[in-house]
Chains A and B, each alone.
Chain A
């Protein structure tokens, strides 16, 4: 079992490589000499377009090159925190809602407000929900890069075979449940959907707000998990597992819902606009799937979230790093991004994204902005995200009922919020 020595050596080697790589990135250069910025991202699908953007930036600033460093989502925040603690943070990196306040509060990233006003940038070109998400104590810390909303990806073949109408605007929870019952086909190993507990953004956050509940109070001080409406939003998923219309947690541990959907075992997959590039590349899904809006509960809702670019406070090239972030937030960059990436945040460039992805009915993702709910966050979101996963997985696996799990979660979450 185990080779502590080998693991240690591997870790040492990895550390040595990281440090040497980091050293290259932060070498002191004379002010006008060539500079290499490190830029850390988490989405493999977006690496090509990020490299394209980096090249476009270098064209305008010949002395600055950008090294796009890809770290998978599962390790991204772990590695970033370690890099920051060890003094080897990338110069520019992607930031998300759950982490922004933690990073801003600990002065890991620099406020950009002064630079934004000096450069005369109008923040009104980005959706307000995103600018607000990246504003902490009155200062803007990140320029929005893209945004995403959630929809129902569905397998047309399986819908046709079960003679179920495709999801359309205005379909309700009742319609969804009726469709789920018809789409489930145990003989063929086909489930209606994978009710995963792994991602609130794609699953339970949406149904919580559709049921009229909330994850966290508007002032960010109390948990919403003990509200009856919130519990209804969770029951939406546990009922699907109970009815056998979703695989159980064991099955989804062995094989992720995304893999099941991409092999025709799930009729529906609640996913984001970010899935567009994956599904248009995948041989199986490119012709068989399409997307519709989320069903309406008590009200219409989808979670909106977006990634922003931020500048490390430890960068030795603050000027160049800011120039790069500024470029990434500009209209030309948004147009490049929209052609082969996610929905650009820059208002007016989204139509380019929609026409570049005309294979699917992606307009639904753009229409969703009108009724979208901002991604729920607080100062230390990660702490209660962990509590969510811990308590909710017990409810999803049937170990405890959903009220018990939600009430216990609310208690834990309130304790964590009180500590912030």
Chain B
């Protein structure tokens, strides 16, 4: 609701006007100022943290993207040269292509999470919290530990996956060294780690949907599938929107899995599938820290930043068409 200075609630407010009472005393200007001061004081640590650890590096990176670096620091201004190189860099374009595919695959993980959430949301299901915890577990595990375990699972000769496949007569590939499978193998791990997080959000979204709607629908003769399509999905759309925005941003920033599973430095160069799994951030890491080409690396992440901003803006535009707030 909107409160004017005089303390009178404006008529256009959605909330019905509250009659003036003893609790609605007019507050002094001095009081208001000290209240604001306290508010700023309390958010200052967070604000400071954001400024120091997020805003400043972003500005610095933007500046560095116009410079060329020596092997041990020290830089000179070279204008738009890094961006010119970037546009013609086949490796960067390939990395962007891989990243796009990861992002699409990451979005494909959302329906999976919705299905699991719907299954967990059934009333008769016992011990929902146990399942919720099991699904959420990969999310709280260290990404590097997760990647190490998957690296082992994916091993072409001794991996558990191929061992199981061999039992049913299938000769499994070298999942992370075969250009045909590597990207999908990595995306599968990505979907698996985020499944629990997305699922918890969807589950919460589903539990917030009033039961009466379903009761009314079943009286009208709607089956579970129709109810899911006509009630659950539309009312869940804000959650779906939220998850898809996060998923796109997260996928575009994929790095840890590529670095640990796919290999880094020289060992990455040995992996014949590496050109198929290298992401934009992995390329950034190589340029910034392995070849020490920091100016160019900065240009790469600035381009990525612009891409993320653009895609997120598009998503926010499109949400008007399909997201129901309700």
Contact = CB atoms under 8 A, between A and B. Distances in A.
Interface string B164-178: 000000000010111
A183 B315 CA distance: 60
A85 B73 contact: yes
Nearest to A249: B272
Contacts of A393: 269-270, 272
A251 interface: yes
B263 A389 contact: no
A253 B263 contact: yes
Contact of A253 (B72, B174, B190, B249): B174
Nearest to B251: A1
Given A6-B143, A393-B269, A250 B178 contact: yes
Interface stretch (A45-53, A74-82, A367-375): A74-82
Interface in A214-267: 249-255
A196 B255 contact: no
A255 B143 contact: no
Contact of B177 (A3, A102, A253): A253
B53 interface: yes
Interface residues of A, number: 38
Given A1-B251, A2-B250, A78-B265, A255 B155 contact: yes
B176 A3 contact: no
B71 A3 contact: no
A397 interface: yes
A102 B155 CA distance: 37
A196 B270 contact: yes
Contacts of A249: 177, 270-272
Contacts, number: 117
A4 B157 CA distance: 33
Interface string B187-201: 100110110000000
A12 B263 CA distance: 23
A397 to B, nearest CB: 4
Interface in B84-139: 102, 106
Given A4-B250, A7-B255, A389 B269 contact: yes
A282 interface: no
B291 A383 contact: yes
A84 interface: yes
A378 to B, nearest CB: 14
B49 to A, nearest CB: 10
B237 interface: no
B206 interface: no
Interface in B249-301: 249-251, 253-257, 263-267, 269-273, 289-292
Interface of B: 53, 70-73, 102, 106, 143, 154-159, 174, 176-178, 187, 190-191, 193-194, 247, 249-251, 253-257, 263-267, 269-273, 289-292
Contacts of B256: 2, 7
A100 to B, nearest CB: 13
A398 to B, nearest CB: 9
Closest 5 CB pairs of A and B: A1-B190, A389-B269, A250-B177, A253-B177, A85-B73
Interface of A: 1-4, 6-8, 12, 74, 78, 81-82, 84-85, 102, 106, 108, 189, 196-198, 249-255, 380, 382-383, 385-386, 389-390, 393, 397, 399
Nearest to B197: A3
A106 B177 contact: no
A280 to B, nearest CB: 25
B254 A1 contact: yes
Given A102-B71, A255-B157, A389-B266, 13 more contacts: A1-B254, A2-B143, A2-B190, A3-B250, A12-B53, A81-B292, A106-B72, A189-B157, A198-B270, A253-B177, A253-B272, A254-B174, A393-B269
Nearest to A83: B72
B291 A1 contact: no
B251 A254 contact: no
B254 A250 contact: no
Given A1-B193, A2-B255, A255 B158 contact: yes
22 contacts: A2-B255, A4-B249, A12-B53, A74-B266, A78-B289, A78-B290, A81-B71, A82-B289, A102-B71, A106-B70, A106-B72, A108-B72, A196-B270, A250-B174, A250-B272, A252-B270, A253-B177, A253-B263, A254-B157, A255-B157, A386-B291, A393-B269
Contacts of A386: 266, 269, 290-291
Contacts of B154: 254
A251 B178 CA distance: 10
A84 B255 contact: no
B72 A74 contact: no
Contacts of B158: 254-255
A252 to B, nearest CB: 7
Contact of A4 (B106, B253, B263): B253
A85 B288 CA distance: 12
Contacts of A7: 143, 255-256
A252 B71 CA distance: 31
Contacts of A82: 289
A1 B263 CA distance: 17
A85 B72 contact: yes
Nearest to A247: B157
A250 B269 contact: no
A124 to B, nearest CB: 32
A386 B292 CA distance: 13
A397 B143 contact: no
A81 B177 contact: no
Nearest to B175: A254
A8 B53 contact: yes
Nearest to A394: B272
B290 A2 contact: no
A84 B72 CA distance: 6
B194 A253 contact: no
Contacts of B178: 250
A283 to B, nearest CB: 18
Given A1-B250, A254-B155, A254-B156, A197 B71 contact: no
A74 B253 CA distance: 23
A390 B90 CA distance: 14
B151 to A, nearest CB: 8
A3 B102 CA distance: 15
Contacts of A74: 264-267
